[in-house]
Amino acid sequence: MLNYILSRLFSAVIVIFGVVFIVFMLIHMVPGDPVEVMLGESATAADRELLRHSLGLDQSIAQQFYQFLHGLFHFDLGQSLHSKKPIIELISARIGPTVELTLASLVVAFIIAFPLGIIAALKKDHLADSAAMTFSLIGIAIPNFLMGPLLILLFSVTLAWFPVSGRSGFDSLILPALTLGTALAAILSRMIRASLLEVLNEDYIRTAKAKGLSRFRIVIVHALRNALLPVITLIGLQIGALLAGAVITEMVFSWPGLGQLTIESIQKRDYPVVQACILLISTTYVLINTLTDIAYAVLDPRIRLSTKQG
Per-residue pLDDT of 153-208, as tens digits, reads 888 888 888 888 878 878 888 899 888 888 888 888 888 888 888 877 777 777 77
Q: Answer with the residue of higher pLDDT: 120 or 205.
A: 120
**What are the beta bridge partners of residue 86?**
79
CB proximity list for 89: less than 8 A, separation 6 or greater: none
Domain ranges (residues) in the chain:
95-256
Show Cβ contacts of residue 139 under 8 Å, excluding neighbours closer than 6 positions: 182, 183, 185, 186, 187
Q: What integer pLDDT is reported at residue 34 of this predicted model? A: 66
Indicate the pTM of the whole model. Answer: 0.76
> Residue 35: pLDDT band by 50, 70, 90 thresholds?
low
pLDDT for the residue numbered 30 = 67
Taking the alpha carbons at both ends of the chain, their separation in whole angstroms is 13
pLDDT, residue 18, reads 85
Architecture, CATH, for domain 95-256: Orthogonal Bundle (1.10)
Residue 294: is its pLDDT beyond 80? no
pLDDT(300) > 70: no
Give the number of C-alpha atoms closer than 13 A to the C-alpha of residue 94, restricted to the C-beta side: 26
Name the burial class of residue 63, with classes exposed (0-12), middle (13-18) and buried (19+) by CB atoms within 10 angstroms of its CB: exposed
User: What pLDDT is stored for residue 244 in this prediction?
Assistant: 66
Above pLDDT 70, what percent of the chain?
A: 86
Q: Mean pLDDT highest for which of 172-176, 204-208, 282-286, 293-297?
A: 172-176
* Residues above pLDDT 90, as percent of the chain: 0
* pLDDT above 60 (res 308): no
Query: What residues pair up with 99 in beta bridges, in sequence order?
Result: none
Amino acid at 54: S
Q: For the segment 201-256, what is each residue's pLDDT rounded down to a tens digit?
A: 777 777 777 777 777 777 777 777 777 777 777 777 777 767 766 778 888 888 88
pLDDT of 63: 82
